[in-house]
Amino acid sequence: MGVDIAFWVLAIVGIAAAIAVVSLRNVFHTALMLILCLLSVAGIYVTLSADFLAAVQILIYVGGISILIILAIMLTREVQHGSLSNKLRIPVFIVAAVFLGVLIFAMVNSPWQISSLPPVEPTTPALAGKLLGEGGFILAIEAAGVLLLASILGAIVLVREK
């Protein structure tokens, strides 16, 4: 019962934050709403007993991508003006509404199998062992960290004063 309430609260917060991401004009506030939306998705993963996905969501998206976006915004001039008015606003809204209709149609007409039992054992140790253990993908994880660092340094070099 408590998990169901937490799921729906996180879902409502996530949807509200996603709407704020596309409707706010201040780019910095949009980035903060994106972080809130990504955190609510991580919370939904926790309520669904997918603890490894929640950890990955927080580490990669909230911790890495969002900080990179905020750093890029802070290094950009004239952030307060926001995005300019666009002629494609109505066609994009129509395409988004059609896409939403297709998603709702697919969700309603799909046979969803629901398990009544939670996982017997945590999924994190098994997945962490496969990723970071013997024969794992630690090199790829380290390379991703180096690439993120290089992109941050590149952004700083590109926008600094001559």
Write the pLDDT tens digit of every residue in 26-58.
878 888 899 999 999 999 999 988 888 888 888
Instruction: Tell me if 78 sits within 8 A of 27, measured CB to CB.
Output: no
C-alpha distances out from residue 96 to 33, 64, 103, Å: 20, 27, 10
3-state secondary structure of 80: coil
Cα distance between residue 46 and residue 52, in whole Å: 9
Helix (H) or strand (E) holding 53: helix 51-56
Q: Report the range of poorest mean pLDDT among 4-13, 50-59, 112-121.
A: 112-121
Q: Which domains does the chain have, with CATH numbers?
A: 2-81+121-159 (1.20.120.1200)
pTM exceeds 0.85, yes or no = no
